Structure 1
């Protein structure tokens, strides 16, 4: 079934794809990024998508890509990623999120030969589609997406075949070297887990006074390693990310509640109203009051996180 609306994440930033579990482990999404962003998050499902309209910024810890209409992307299981509109105008993305077991159960020849090599390949953590893969993979993703939308008799078999062929193409294009990839996989896993721990800590404590040392301690790393991780993955510092996350949360409260702006300011960890107003204007190019009244913010600001 096709899903509309906002991406739902838990308090850790792990996306809630509960509807994917069960009889048919595939989620089909139509995301309109003209009026929202998909913030940094992760989930156990693999994800593949096509830009149907406009231009997006697609980011993972190892990729920072500008994708336009017709371009596709792939995100592996449990990999941090985010996307947002890159320019004014309509912006739509077709997304499929699917459990790796869709193509074959663990312990089967399908899992060992075709699925696990993709799961364990650092080259396939998150990627845009290169020239050789653009058309065949795009066609597979779009065909599977349309089959999910229409839900005609036997569509589950068609979707499973398309997504299995997708993994076959990706694994064939980017074969993993066992010895070399094992070390890369372990480093990548540690890197991802550290960032998840620190992002989780911020999302659980953003309303409290926080320091870079506290954020680093949440992942048992030094402040310098924390800074390196944030700069490498998100292109910012932990304190800048914390500020912008507070602003993003404040914007959601402004748009979705009738709370006083002063109460929202306090709840989101800003000790001074003047600093909150100045920072909010820098990100959204309007005042908090104007945002609440329906001003259309510049999405390149909102889309950072």
Structure 2
């Protein structure tokens, strides 16, 4: 299954149901350039995530850090961490994505000791999975096996999946991490999500820097530092980019027009909307709309 449009709520929490009928787990292939945005937008979820690049290479951002993950390599993304992904060098990147509820990784008796400390640690937002290391190869092989099990649905496949998850988690924690729990990091993550949540609720209105800073209980300068450190852009540039993202689904509607869409997503000038849209997508909103109509 390919997810082409990541549904997220106002706080960027992904709304995709990460589960099969009976298991709190999802495993599917993702082709980055087939997403509606052309990339996997910034989001987060309670589930832990494992990635295995099958083809090409991708640039992942997890919280403030960026890294390149190449064909055959993997990645663990911890619960609650903001993350996004872009294709690198037009490599037609495809990856297996495995999302799992932390409570399903091990039994409740083992969860408190062997899972909870890891998903709460502030120094473990992600972990690169190297296929050349035995523990890394074990994890990546198990991801492939889980993907096969979900598609084949042989008798008792649910039990086989739990066996593979236990194998994955054991190989993840045998590295002997010195876990850390910094209150300042937890507060920073919470404030960033508060500001993003406020923007996503009010993007169609007039937004000032003071409004965004107030949502995160920060000064204007601190607010700018948060955005530049984590998102590599200013708060108001983020607002503009988000408005353009929101315009895409509206432009695909047959009865919409560019001016109406511009005002619906918070622009107070059609020409300014067209200019920003062109710089972002290398085409005008009208060209985008016509292309999407032709695809229907």
Q: Same fold (TM over 0.5)?
A: yes
- What residue in structure 1 maps to residue 256 of structure 2? 259
Which residue of 46, 54, 58 corresponds with 1:44? 46
Three-state SS of the structure 1 residue aligned to 2:115 is: helix
Three-state SS of the structure 1 residue aligned to 2:225 is: helix
Alignment of 1:213-228 (within 5 A): 213-228=210-225
- Provide the rounded CA distance (Å) in 2 between the counterparts of 1:33 and 1:3: 10
Bigger RCO of structures 1 and 2 (CA < 8 A, at least 6 apart): 1
- What residue in structure 2 maps to residue 56 of structure 1? 58
1:121–1:176 contact (8 Å) kept in structure 2: no
- The ranges of structure 1 where at least 4 consecutive aligned residues each deviate by more than 6 angstroms after the TM superposition are none
Distance change >3 Å, CA 174–CA 21, structure 1 → 2: farther
Three-state SS of the structure 2 residue aligned to 1:18 is: coil
Is 1:119 the equivalent of 2:119? yes
Q: Give how far 1:105 is off.
A: 4.2
Alignment of 1:103-252 (within 5 A): 103-106=105-108, 108=109, 110-130=110-130, 132=133, 133-177=135-179, 181-182=180-181, 184=182, 186-252=183-249
- Provide the rounded CA distance (Å) in 2 between the counterparts of 1:254 and 1:9: 19
Q: Which runs of 5+ in 2 are unaligned?
A: none
- What residue in structure 2 maps to residue 31 of structure 1? 30
- Provide the rounded CA distance (Å) in 2 between the counterparts of 1:17 and 1:251: 19
Three-state SS of the structure 1 residue aligned to 2:123 is: helix
**Residue-pair matches, total:** 287
More deviation in 209-218 or 28-37? 28-37
- What residue in structure 2 maps to residue 300 of structure 1? none
2:44–2:81 contact (8 Å) kept in structure 1: yes
Distance change >3 Å, CA 97–CA 256, structure 1 → 2: farther
- Provide the rounded CA distance (Å) in 2 between the counterparts of 1:45 and 1:143: 19
- Provide the rounded CA distance (Å) in 2 between the counterparts of 1:268 and 1:61: 26
- Provide the rounded CA distance (Å) in 2 between the counterparts of 1:4 and 1:60: 20
2:27–2:146 contact (8 Å) kept in structure 1: no
- Provide the rounded CA distance (Å) in 2 between the counterparts of 1:243 and 1:281: 12
- Provide the rounded CA distance (Å) in 1 between the counterparts of 2:122 and 2:256: 45
TM-score normalized by the length of structure 1:
0.87
Q: Give how far 1:120 is off.
A: 2.3
- What residue in structure 2 maps to residue 284 of structure 1? 281
- Provide the rounded CA distance (Å) in 2 between the counterparts of 1:134 and 1:243: 40
TM-score normalized by the length of structure 2:
0.89
Distance change >3 Å, CA 21–CA 210, structure 1 → 2: farther
1:149-199 C-alpha deviation (Å, 9 max, x unpaired): 22222221222222222222222225234xxx12x2x23221211111111
- Provide the rounded CA distance (Å) in 1 between the counterparts of 2:189 and 2:107: 25
Q: Which runs of 5+ in 1 are unaligned?
A: 296-305
Three-state SS of the structure 2 residue aligned to 1:8 is: coil
- Provide the rounded CA distance (Å) in 1 between the counterparts of 2:107 and 2:145: 23
- What residue in structure 2 maps to residue 12 of structure 1? 11
More deviation in 31-40 or 202-211? 31-40
- Provide the rounded CA distance (Å) in 2 between the counterparts of 1:256 and 1:168: 48
- Provide the rounded CA distance (Å) in 2 between the counterparts of 1:250 and 1:160: 41
Distance change >3 Å, CA 8–CA 225, structure 1 → 2: same
1:25-57 C-alpha deviation (Å, 9 max, x unpaired): 111222221221221111111111112222222
Q: Give how far 1:3 is off.
A: 6.0
